[in-house]
Amino acid sequence: MKIDLNIGHTIGSTPLVELKSVTAGVRAKVLAKLEFFNPLGSIKDRIGRSMIEAAEIEGKLKPLKIP
44 in catalytic set: yes
Give the type of residue at 43. I
CA angle 3, 11, 43 (to 5 degrees): 150
Which residue among 33, 44, 62, 65 is the active-site one?
A: 44
The number of residues in the chain equals: 67
- Round to whole Å and give the CA distance between 36 and 40: 8
Active-site residues, by number, are 44
